[in-house]
A and B are shown apart, each in its own frame.
Chain A
């Protein structure tokens, strides 16, 4: 306090930056709360809470500042270019080693301490998310291990914080793919916090929003997921590439599909797929086409679904990994059944089911089994249904599926034994297994 019983400007500045003593802090708050008009007005300006600009030193020429900073930054150009060129080879070299050794290397080898290598690791992490989420998690962790080794005097605090945000985002995305939803949520919260420390790069923010939208889809928080996707889209449309826009639109289409808004989902898929030029990111294009076939089929547009499927077959065989090809068999089986070709449908669905069991993807194998059960039920093949129920039970027990899920399967087996399986029960069970894949321990409740 000064002689007139008002606050010193210096005390207000120190208070804002957390450097005031506890006694000064208490005095500042008590004085302002007591309603001193002069000090409130001064605090509003000093603390940047006033609409009026703070009266400060005369502003320097911004263009001169920009020129000065550009000169300072230019000295790093060659180094960044060299690091960027070296990153792909360093990445391959690093990933040749066993996982534990990789962690030792990033701590001990100074030539690995580059921004470009962390970026390359995170790009690889994203490529691995779909097929190998556990490996993607490991790569994101490796990138995080390297981050504290980056020199802020070279790369700047803001760009390093951007990269930390991206690393947390990629980790969260991979955890989501591995069905570790609560870990994924925590990682994305850390990513958001790091963005606050970063440069404000809208593309980094857009990517985290996209990851969040996909997590919200997995959590079935669909309206929030749509909002996150729309926010990501707004940023990519303004600052990003058409492929990034297309990727988010495909994610948005999946959310619309899950919401049951199939017409909107189909239109969004079609608009997104039209953005891909020949040969561009064909894996993403394949995933989008697969989802569109699924939506067309569920919207009852079987002919369109089949036509797109046959058009996409070469891409499936060219790019499809084992799981994608099994999913192809699954959707083929569903479509053939819609066309009344039950024998061929059963053949496709059986191939999909046994392949998914081999790949230990039990929940999706169960969902295929329900499609098979529906056909057996329609044809009155009660023996086949009983056999299916018994076989799948053994599979679940062998794969150590949670007991709540096994209990749900027992409901099906009992209904099959009693020859009392209904279409409603099958739909409820399929819905339950889809949810339980993301929420281990979820209990099944039938509507009856």
Chain B
């Protein structure tokens, strides 16, 4: 199948796309990029190729590598927005008076259960954040971490928390029994 009209793209890039298309397709499939986002993602990679062509020595490897990295960034970005949503919802819940509703009064207990399944380091960071309302700088000072690294560490801990929240192998009953 002809990927592009050689008159509209340079011969070199048209040939490159012919050669790479199956590999790019495999990368997109393997990373389960939703249909509606595939075109945007590919378009950025191909524009970047046109813009930077003179500085790229191994175009095929570069294009496939760039699409692969972009798939990883795509999911990382989506996860980051998920962590922010979880973080905001937890901070919002914890800021409300205890006993505002049954659901909210259970939250503290349930959160303790989830936190008991993540690493000690993350547990300490998240307890300070949600239990005592410490901001990242206060958390860093309290636990002796570099302020420059606390954001990255908190993101990792939120990742662990989110994974624990959706871990279907764990149930609240198990935690309640152990607490």
Contact = CB atoms under 8 A, between A and B. Distances in A.
Interface stretch (A72-80, A172-180, A278-286, A330-338): A72-80
A105 interface: no
A200 B47 contact: no
Interface stretch (B16-24, B121-129, B136-144): B16-24
Interface stretch (A10-18, A131-139, A225-233): A10-18
A100 interface: no
A130 interface: no
Contacts of A63: 1, 3, 21-22, 25
A253 interface: no
Contacts of B78: 16, 47-48
Contacts of B51: 80, 115-116, 155, 159
A244 B69 CA distance: 20
Contacts, number: 225
A85 B21 CA distance: 29
B17 to A, nearest CB: 6
Interface string B161-174: 01101111011110
A158 B48 contact: yes
B43 A156 contact: yes
Interface in A216-245: 238-241
Contacts of A44: 166-168
Contacts of A238: 58, 61, 65
B3 A67 contact: yes
B89 A25 contact: yes
B48 A201 contact: yes
B39 A68 contact: yes
Nearest to A198: B73
A200 B75 CA distance: 12
Contacts of A189: 148
Contact of B68 (A54, A200, A241): A200
B28 interface: yes
Contacts of A76: 47, 50
Contacts of A56: 34-35
Given A66-B25, A67-B2, A159 B48 contact: yes
Interface residues of B, number: 83
Given A26-B89, A201-B48, A16 B21 contact: no
A202 interface: yes
Nearest to B163: A49
Given A26-B89, A70-B17, A196-B77, A40 B167 contact: yes
Nearest to B76: A196
A30 interface: yes
A77 B10 contact: yes
Contacts of A196: 73, 76-77
A35 B172 contact: yes
Nearest to A37: B168
Interface in A23-38: 25-30, 32-35, 37
A200 B72 contact: yes
Consensus secondary structure, chain B interface: helix
B70 A199 contact: yes
A72 B114 CA distance: 48
B116 interface: no
Given A17-B81, A73-B46, A202-B62, A66 B3 contact: yes
A239 B58 contact: yes
Contacts of B98: none
Contacts of B2: 67
B172 A34 contact: yes
A41 interface: yes
Interface in B60-119: 61-62, 65-73, 75-79, 81-82, 84-86, 88-90, 92-93, 103-104, 106-107, 110-111, 113-114
A157 interface: yes
B45 interface: yes
Contacts of B52: 159, 201, 203
B166 A32 contact: yes
Contact of B89 (A28, A71, A116): A28
A2 B88 CA distance: 23
B4 A18 contact: no
What 9 pairs between A and B have smallest CB-CB spacing? A200-B69, A35-B172, A62-B25, A158-B44, A25-B89, A74-B8, A70-B4, A200-B70, A44-B166
Interface of B: 1-5, 8-10, 13-14, 17, 21-22, 24-25, 28-29, 32, 34-35, 38-39, 42-48, 50-52, 54-58, 61-62, 65-73, 75-79, 81-82, 84-86, 88-90, 92-93, 103-104, 106-107, 110-111, 113-114, 148, 162-163, 165-168, 170-173, 175
Interface of A: 15-18, 20, 22, 25-30, 32-35, 37, 40-41, 43-44, 47-50, 53-54, 56-57, 59-60, 62-63, 65-77, 80, 84, 115-116, 155-159, 162, 185, 189, 196-203, 205, 238-241
